[in-house]
């Protein structure tokens, strides 16, 4: 990945929604250790998690960090929280697929209406840049979570058109499964290892993989280079689920239990329809807005990149970067080391 110019965040005020989650904690730690922000605001609705997170930092850190209790559903609270903020990273969401299916209105309120609230508050408060975290499930969605995140992505991209004379720019970051995050399949496999039996949905299933630290660095890089309107997708490896089970629990019996409702056999980060409006870079792809005429040649002349083939699709089963068993072991070890480093700070 290209080197990040860390000066662009120096003396800026950052706000992270969902800041007490796996991504938020790592993002805040990275900002503190590697950048020089003037202030970091952690915006979340769980006071216990904020309390626990506050005890991870020393007195010098707490001079910079602010904890702000609030919900992205609460428009007025967001307006208060974003006063004086330069950069917003929007990581708050309802993410569990079954929970979203059983509580669809709640998913809409948080993932879609919450996104709309972020957009309005950011524009009216004069925020410079907003990056929203998306998911591979937003590409050709088949479950409600993916559908709400696709809608959220569309809202953030469209926000660049109606920010008008305001300076706010909006972009989206979309990547795959995060190793070491809550909800990852790896902790599940480790818990089941002692039983001698690992259930997987389908031996053919493949997924993209990225570590938490890699995801955080990708967001920082996207904040640096964004022009507004892009959906950024990192180039990351993939593997099949059976190999993950074999690496985590060697010697265990692997049992196929069938694909669950709302689950795909393979994940897609860029669909063929999006490829027509996408550029390829050394470390990423950028999906440009398709609902307005975008001169890709002018955009390319400004920031670089190569147009993707019209029939291109970035899917986990056809990914040119496929992990073998050793590569997967190294990636999991890297994710474990990152998690341990964050836990001991």
Q: Got the DSSP string for 249-303?
A: STT-EEEE--PPTT--SS-EEE-HHHHTTEEE-SSEEEEPPSSS---HHHHHHHH
For 56-75, write each residue's pLDDT tens digit.
Answer: 999 989 999 999 999 999 99
Q: Please tell me the total count of domains within the chain.
A: 1
The answer to the question of residue 228 being in a domain is: yes
pLDDT of residue 184: 76
Residue with tokens 């089941």: 192
**Higher pLDDT residue, 220 or 337?**
220
What is the pLDDT averaged over residues 166-174? 95
pLDDT confidence tier of residue 187, bands split at 50, 70 and 90: confident
Beta bridge partners of 177: 209
Phi/psi at 19 (5° precision): -70, -10
The answer to the question of residue 157 being in a domain is: yes
Type and span of the H or E element at 206: strand 206-211
CATH number of the domain enclosing 276: 3.40.50.720
pLDDT of residue 38: 96
Structure tokens at 30: 């990275």
Query: CA–CA separation, 86 vs 108, rounded Å?
Result: 27
pLDDT confidence tier of residue 160, bands split at 50, 70 and 90: very high
Highest mean pLDDT among 140-154, 169-183, 247-261: 140-154
What is the pLDDT averaged over residues 205-220? 95
Active site residues: 137
DSSP state of 86: -
Residues spanned by the domain of 127? 9-343
The answer to the question of residue 177 being in a domain is: yes
**What is the percent of the chain with per-residue pLDDT over 70, rounded to a whole number?**
96
The answer to the question of residue 3 being in a domain is: no
What is the pLDDT averaged over residues 248-261? 91
pLDDT confidence tier of residue 343, bands split at 50, 70 and 90: low
Q: Pairing relation of β-strands 306-307 and 278-280?
A: antiparallel
What is the pLDDT averaged over residues 7-35? 94
3-state secondary structure (DSSP) of residue 29: helix
pLDDT of residue 237: 96
| Mean of all residue pLDDT scores within the chain | 93
For 258-302, write each residue's pLDDT tens digit.
Answer: 988 888 999 999 999 999 999 999 999 999 997 766 678 888 899
The answer to the question of residue 2 being in a domain is: no
Length of the chain: 345
8 A C-beta contact, residue 118 and residue 88: yes
What is the pLDDT averaged over residues 199-219? 94
The answer to the question of residue 4 being in a domain is: no
Q: What is the largest CA-CA distance in the chain?
A: 62
Task: Please list, residue by residue across 157-179, b when 16 or more beta carbons sit within 10 angstroms of its beta carbon and e when fewer do.
Answer: bbbbeebeeeebbbbbbbbbbbb
What is the pLDDT averaged over residues 302-316? 94
The answer to the question of residue 258 being in a domain is: yes
**Higher pLDDT residue, 165 or 41?**
41
Phi-psi category of 241—alpha, beta or left, where left has phi over 0 and alpha has psi -120 to 50? alpha
Distances, alpha carbon 80 to alpha carbons 39, 41, 71, 243, in Å: 15, 12, 12, 48
The answer to the question of residue 1 being in a domain is: no
What is the pLDDT averaged over residues 44-65? 94
């Amino acid at each position: 990945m290209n080197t990040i110019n860390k000066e662009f965040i120096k003396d800026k005020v950052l706000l992270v929604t969902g800041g007490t989650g796996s991504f938020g904690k790592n993002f805040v730690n990275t900002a503190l250790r590697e950048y020089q922000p003037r202030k970091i605001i952690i915006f979340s609705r769980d006071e216990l998690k904020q309390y626990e997170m506050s005890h991870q930092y020393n007195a010098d850190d707490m001079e910079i960090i602010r904890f702000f209790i609030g919900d992205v559903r609460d428009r007025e609270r967001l307006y208060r929280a974003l006063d004086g903020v330069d950069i917003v990273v929007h990581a708050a969401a309802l993410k569990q697929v079954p929970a979203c299916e059983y509580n669809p209105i709640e998913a809409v309120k948080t993932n879609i209406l919450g996104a709309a609230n972020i957009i309005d508050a950011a524009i009216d408060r004069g925020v410079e840049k907003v990056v929203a975290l998306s998911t591979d499930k937003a590409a050709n969605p088949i479950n409600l979570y993916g559908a709400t995140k696709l809608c959220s992505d569309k809202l953030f991209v469209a926000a660049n058109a109606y920010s008008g004379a305001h300076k706010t720019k909006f972009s989206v970051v979309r990547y795959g499964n995060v190793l070491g995050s809550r909800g990852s399949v790896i902790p599940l496999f480790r818990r089941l290892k002692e039983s001698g039996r690992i259930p997987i949905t389908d031996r053919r299933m493949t997924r993209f993989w990225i570590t938490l630290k890699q995801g955080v660095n990708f967001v920082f890089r996207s904040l640096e280079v964004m022009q507004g309107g892009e959906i950024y997708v990192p180039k990351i490896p993939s593997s099949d689920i059976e190999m993950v089970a074999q690496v985590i629990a060697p010697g265990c019996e692997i049992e196929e239990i069938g694909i669950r409702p709302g689950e795909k056999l393979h994940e897609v980060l860029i669909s063929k329809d999006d490829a027509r409006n996408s550029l390829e870079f050394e470390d990423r792809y950028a999906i440009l807005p398709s609902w307005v005429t975008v001169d890709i040649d002018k955009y390319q002349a400004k920031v670089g990149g190569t147009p993707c083939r019209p029939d291109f699709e970035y899917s986990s089963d056809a990914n040119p970067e496929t992990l073998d068993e050793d590569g997967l072991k190294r990636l999991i070890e890297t994710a474990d080391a990152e998690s341990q480093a964050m836990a001991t700070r």
